Amino acid sequence: MKKPSNYIFILLVLLLCNACEKNIDLQLDKTPPMLVVEAYINNNLRSYNYVIIGKTVNFTESQFANTAVEKATVTITEGTYDKGKGYQWNTAGKVTLKEGKMPAMHSLYVPGLYFDPRLIADSANAIMGKPGKSYLLEIVSEGKKYTAITTLPIPVPIDSLTNTPPFKDDSGRVRARLTVHYTDPDTLGNAQIYYWSNRYTKSTFGWGALGTDRYLPNTDELVNGQSIHITHSAVMPVGDTATYYLVSIERPVYDFWDSFNKARANSGPFSTPVVLKSNIKGSNVVGCFSGFSVSSMKHVMK
């Protein structure tokens, strides 16, 4: 949770002005669009290595979701980082990502969604991230080039998954909450993001559609080396099988998702403008090439 103590005072003001809010017509500036890049490389879910390219819209436009940027050239190259030599890219293994009808997307054509074409017919050989390796993303769109580099850290193993004692929710269904147990490595600077899939995410695709804990992208400054036990607030039906993904990320990727979480919770009063951090290089671009080192485990909710 960010600025938690402020929430108390925000609530106090909102209670104070409960009846004193009214709609107004905002006359906001219009600006030319900016390129938005959402790219992933991970070591666990082959079809979840993809790149989405879009554009920003003016604030008051009725367009929501993605304004797709089509027909871009998108490649990912694996490499290693050597302290003396810098990045060494395996250009022979460069993978070109394309728009198309991917099985994981129920073979729908989604403009602006780029993936390894081998996912269609030869998915076992489609691109997959490896912990310790670095990846170079290159995009050429409308004559402009954009690049980004991300590295997959060594994944942190999950010790176990348990759930809280079950309880009946308002509709009488028996639910429980999932708890993850893992040990933070004894080196400072680790960062984790938490995802899970269960029956609710059965008919979905993409990292954005998985279950996640919006309050807890975590770094270990305050809990370095400790045993971590996190109970997520989302409820799951008892009997359901959950697949849990403990995602370790490098610091620039954490910084992006941290700023993302701040920005997403930022539409209310008292908010301050949060500008997303970005690891994409190029002019007029925002976004993140996220290297996810995933440890996963299944758990039946009891």
Partner 1 sequence: MVNRRKTIRIRQWNFLFLLFGGLNTYGQSTLLKVSVTNQQQQGINASVAAGSVTAVTDATGTALLRLAPGRYQVAVSAIGYTGSSQGIVLNSDTTIAFVLSKSTHQLRSVTIESDRILQLGRMSSHLLNMDQIKKMPRLFGEIDPLKSITLLPGIKNAGDAGGIYVRGGGPDENLVLMDGITVYNPTHLLGAFSIFNGDAVKSISVIKGGMPAEYGGRLSSVISVASREGNKDSLKLNGSIGLISSRLTVEGPVSKGKSSFIISARRTYIDQIARWVAPESIHENGYYFYDVNAKLNFELNKANSISVNFYTGKDKFNYDKVQSNDRHRNFKADWGNTLAGITWKSQVSKRIQQELSLSHNSFDLGSRITYITDGVLFSSGLLDYQVRNDWMYIPADRLKLKAGWQGTWHQFKPGAGNISAGEQAFVSKINKQYGREAAAYLSADWDVSQKFNILAGVRASYFDQVGPKNEVVYGKDGVPTGQTIKYGKGAVIARYMYPEPRLAMRYLFDPETSVKLSYTRTVQYLHLATTSAATFPSDLWIPVSRLIKPGIADQVAAGFYKNLSGGYEVSAEAYYKEMSNELEFMPGAQLLLNQNLEGEMIFGTGKAYGLELFFKKKTGPFTGWIGYTLSRAERTFPALNGGKPFPYRYDRTHDLNITANYELSKKWLFTGLFVFSTGNALTMPNGRFGYNLGYNFRNDVPVFTNIDRYGKVNDYRMPAYHRLDLSVTFTPNPESTRRFKSHWILSVYNVYNRSNPYFIYVDVDEKKQTIQGKQVILFPILPSLSWNFNF
* Nearer Cβ to partner 1 (77/279): 279
Which are the contacts of 187, defined by CB distance < 8 A and separation ≥ 6? 224
Three-state SS at 190: coil
Q: Mark the segment that binds partner 1 (CB under 8 A) among 80-88, 139-147, 170-178, 291-299.
A: 170-178
Identify which of residues 94 and 199 has a Cβ nearer to partner 1 in the complex: 199
Q: Which residues contact 182 (CB under 8 A, 6 or more apart)?
A: 156, 157, 158, 159, 227, 228, 246, 295
Cβ distance to partner 1 smaller for residue 91 or 167: 167
Q: How far is CA 228 from the centre of its chain?
A: 21
Residues 6+ apart with CB under 8 A from 63: 57
Among 11, 154, 174, 300, binds partner 1 (CB under 8 A): 11
Choice from 29, 121, 142, 283 touching partner 1 (CB under 8 A): 29
CA-CA-CA-CA dihedral for 231, 159, 211, 187, to nearest 10: 90
Question: Which of 31, 33, 51, 32 minimizes the C-alpha distance to 41?
Answer: 51
Is residue 154 a contact residue for partner 1 (CB under 8 A)? no
Residue 70 CB, shortest distance to partner 1, in Å, is 15
Instruction: CB nearer to partner 1: give 4 or 143.
Output: 4
Of 117 and 206, CB closest to partner 1: 206
- Pair 80, 65: CB distance under 8 Å: no
* Cβ neighbourhood burial of 89 (10 Å; 0-12, 13-18, 19+): middle
Q: Specify the stretch interacting with partner 1 by CB under 8 A; choose among 72-80, 84-92, 132-140, 263-271.
A: 263-271
Residue in 85, 143, 272, 283 binding partner 1, rule: CB under 8 A: 272
142 contacts partner 1 (rule: CB under 8 A): no
Q: Is 165 in the site for partner 1 (CB under 8 A)?
A: no
Q: Which one of residues 84, 121, 165, 203 is an interface residue with partner 1 (CB under 8 A)?
A: 203
140 binds partner 1 (CB under 8 A): no
To which residue do tokens 């290297």 refer? 291
Number of residues in contact with partner 1 under rule CB under 8 A: 101
Closest by Cα among 193, 231, 182, 259 to 42: 193
Interacting stretch for partner 1, rule CB under 8 A, among 70-78, 81-89, 116-124, 214-222?
214-222
Among 87, 164, 237, 238, interactor with partner 1 by CB under 8 A:
164
CA atoms within 13 A on the CB side of 75: 14
Q: Which is nearer to partner 1, 125 or 226 (CB)?
A: 226
Check binding of 217 to partner 1 (CB under 8 A). no
Write the interaction track for partner 1 spanning residues 96-135; mark x where CB under 8 A is met and - where it is not. ---------xx-x-x-------------------------
Strands 285-300 and 35-42: parallel
How many CB atoms within 10 Å of residue 143?
5
By beta-carbon proximity to partner 1, the closer residue of 76 and 285 is 285
